[in-house]
């Protein structure tokens, strides 16, 4: 038998979920901010390097302009000397790092002269990086700089066009500037301070708003829980209303729901399916509200026409539950609980697995409880005989696999449930409904 359902703490659940959601938000904000600050700071750094480099390159272009007048650029000692001077200026004048690579390329991307800092710790990787880049530029391309990372060390690639004496673009000069460890450390500190500041603001805001949010969410959850309880009570009232008209069978509704849920749990059905099964088990005969008293309360056997009218309780039941969003998933049991595994049932004549599993489960539980229960017109059938009658319906009325599973749990289940009073059954059923409906409400909060 199902153990009593756990009591879910609204406050603990809400606080836990709110905490984790705020934690996730804080982490996401921190990551996004860190990336943003990183690019902003290095963009600023690149602009600073670029502004200083502009001045140096303008002077360099003035010095090498006569050397760029020839149609075919050639490597010359003069051009080498000028590039070496540019490299030296880039090492000592910028103050935020030093130039580790410089080169002049023609407009087709061919390298004319190169000056490298052979003493630089990443000299080989710098050369490999610069050799892999496409140095060809369009006639309209202007100066630009790009961030380059080498072994987690920041570098800035600088590219400038060079013009000849006629003001025509004749070549490009390119450099790779290594940012000093001190400047990189400053940028990293700026990132850390920005992230910590943002996290502090988030935490402070949370501390201010947290009690308000908790109070509002608790009120909302309490209203949701009250609404759920009202729905469950409506479910019970509707089931009992039908039972009052049908020989006071409300205890049958309780037992058959418990039996159905136990079988569904043994099968490993989802919580959502078991919720639908609980609703359907309570309301399986709700359509009998539409059957006249002359037929429903008749003492003797029904005529053929009366039997046909009685069968309409299935369609009446579907018409009732389909108009409620909360009850409409009960229709699998309400509509199909009189279907038979061999296709000889009604109203649709479905067979085998075409019958929804909740209806196949309920059919076994319904017949078993009807056999073993006392009614005004019959005594309860002994347990062993009831199982034999079920076995006679194997493959015809009942799903054979579900019947085997039910027979495995039936002895202990019958012993536990059959002797319970109406009050004890109602308490157990309350525990079941709260376990499946309340738990999902908080899991989805």
Higher per-residue confidence, 266 vs 145: 266
What percentage of residues in the chain have a pLDDT greater than 70? 89
DSSP letters spanning 192-208 = HHHHHHHHHHHHHHHHH
Contact call for residues 161 and 172 (beta carbons, < 8 A): yes
Give the contacts of 10 (CB within 8 A, at least 6 positions apart).
218, 221, 222, 225, 442
Query: What are the extents of the domains in the chain?
Result: 10-188, 246-443
Report how far residue 63's alpha carbon sits from residue 42's, in angstroms, rounded to the nearest whole number.
31
Contact call for residues 122 and 111 (beta carbons, < 8 A): no
161-213, pLDDT tens digit by residue?
988 888 888 888 999 989 888 888 888 888 788 878 877 887 788 788 878 87
Report how far residue 320's alpha carbon sits from residue 311's, in angstroms, rounded to the nearest whole number.
15
User: pLDDT at position 212, please?
Assistant: 82
Higher per-residue confidence, 89 vs 374: 374
Contact call for residues 160 and 143 (beta carbons, < 8 A): yes
With H, G, I as helix, E, B as strand and everything else as coil, classify residue 373.
coil
Q: What share of the chain is helix, strand, coil (3-state, %, to 5)?
A: 65, 10, 25
Residue 3 banded pLDDT, cuts 50, 70, 90: very low
Is the per-residue pLDDT at 349 higher than 90? yes
Higher per-residue confidence, 258 vs 210: 258
Is the per-residue pLDDT at 231 higher than 70? yes
Contact call for residues 158 and 86 (beta carbons, < 8 A): no
Share the mean pLDDT of the chain.
Answer: 83
Residue range 138-151: average pLDDT?
Answer: 80
CA distances from 6 to 345, 434, 435 (A): 39, 9, 7
Residue range 400-421: average pLDDT?
Answer: 92
User: pLDDT at position 368, please?
Assistant: 95
User: pLDDT at position 274, please?
Assistant: 93
Residue 332 banded pLDDT, cuts 50, 70, 90: very high
Is the per-residue pLDDT at 444 higher than 90? no
Is the per-residue pLDDT at 50 higher than 60? yes
CA angle, corner 125, sides to 121 and 126, nearest 5? 85
Contact call for residues 210 and 11 (beta carbons, < 8 A): no
- First CA to last CA distance, the chain: 29
Q: How many CA atoms lie within 13 A of 434 on its CB side?
A: 17
Higher per-residue confidence, 218 vs 147: 147
What the block records as the tokens of 426 is 């109602």
Is the per-residue pLDDT at 137 higher than 80? no
Contact call for residues 94 and 49 (beta carbons, < 8 A): yes
What CATH number does the domain located at 246-443 have? 1.10.3210.10
Report how far residue 410's alpha carbon sits from residue 296's, in angstroms, rounded to the nearest whole number.
30
User: pLDDT at position 248, please?
Assistant: 54
What percentage of residues in the chain have a pLDDT greater than 90? 28
Fold designation for 10-188: Beta-Lactamase (3.30.450)
CA distances from 23 to 17, 29, 175, 217, 395 (A): 10, 10, 44, 18, 55
Name the one residue in this structure whose structure tokens are 């390329």.
Answer: 105
Report how far residue 15's alpha carbon sits from residue 23's, in angstroms, rounded to the nearest whole number.
12
Report how far residue 194's alpha carbon sits from residue 188's, in angstroms, rounded to the nearest whole number.
10
User: pLDDT at position 294, please?
Assistant: 86
The continuous run of DSSP H or E covering 170 comes out as: strand 169-179
What the block records as the tokens of 53 is 């480099």
Residue range 94-107: average pLDDT?
Answer: 82
Do you find a cis peptide bond into 347, omega within 30 degrees of 0? yes
């Amino acid at each position: 038998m199902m153990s009593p359902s756990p009591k879910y703490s609204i406050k603990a659940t809400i606080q836990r979920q709110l905490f984790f959601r705020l934690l996730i938000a804080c982490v996401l904000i921190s990551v996004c901010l860190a990336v943003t600050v990183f690019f902003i700071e290095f963009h600023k750094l690149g602009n600073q390097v670029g502004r200083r480099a502009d001045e140096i390159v303008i002077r360099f272009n003035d010095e090498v302009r006569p050397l760029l007048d020839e149609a075919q650029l050639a490597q010359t000692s003069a051009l080498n000397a000028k590039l070496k001077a540019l490299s030296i200026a880039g090492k000592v004048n910028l103050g935020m790092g030093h130039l580790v690579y410089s080169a002049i390329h023609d407009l087709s991307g061919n390298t004319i002269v190169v000056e490298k800092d052979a003493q630089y710790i990443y000299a080989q990787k710098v050369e490999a990086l610069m050799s892999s880049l496409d140095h060809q530029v369009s006639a309209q391309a202007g100066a630009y700089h790009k961030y380059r990372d080498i072994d987690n060390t920041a570098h800035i690639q600088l590219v400038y066009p060079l013009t000849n004496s006629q003001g025509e673009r004749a070549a490009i000069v390119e450099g790779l500037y290594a940012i000093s460890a001190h400047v990189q450390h400053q940028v990293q500190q700026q990132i850390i301070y920005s992230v910590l500041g943002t996290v502090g603001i988030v935490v402070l805001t949370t501390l201010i708003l947290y009690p308000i949010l908790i109070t509002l969410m608790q009120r909302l959850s309490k209203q949701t829980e009250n609404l759920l309880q009202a729905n469950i009570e409506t479910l019970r009232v509707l089931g009992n209303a039908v039972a009052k008209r049908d020989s006071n069978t409300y205890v049958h509704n309780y037992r058959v729901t418990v039996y159905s849920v136990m079988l569904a749990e043994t099968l490993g059905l989802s919580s959502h399916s078991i919720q639908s099964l609980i609703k359907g088990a309570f309301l399986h005969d709700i359509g009998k509200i539409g059957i006249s008293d002359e037929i429903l309360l008749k003492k003797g056997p029904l005529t053929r026409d009366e039997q046909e009218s009685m069968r309409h309780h299935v369609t009446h039941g579907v018409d009732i539950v389909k108009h409620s969003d909360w009850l409409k998933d009960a229709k699998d049991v309400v509509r199909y609980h009189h279907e038979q595994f061999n296709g000889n049932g009604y109203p649709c004549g479905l067979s085998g697995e075409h019958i929804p599993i909740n209806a196949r489960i309920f059919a076994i539980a319904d017949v078993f409880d009807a056999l073993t229960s006392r009614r005004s017109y019959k005594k309860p059938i002994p347990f062993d005989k009831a199982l034999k009658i079920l076995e006679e319906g194997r493959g015809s009325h009942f799903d054979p696999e579900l019947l085997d599973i039910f027979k495995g749990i039936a002895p202990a289940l019958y012993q536990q449930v059959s002797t319970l009073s109406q009050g004890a059954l109602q308490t157990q059923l309350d525990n079941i409904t709260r376990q499946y409906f309340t738990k999902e409400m908080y899991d989805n909060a």
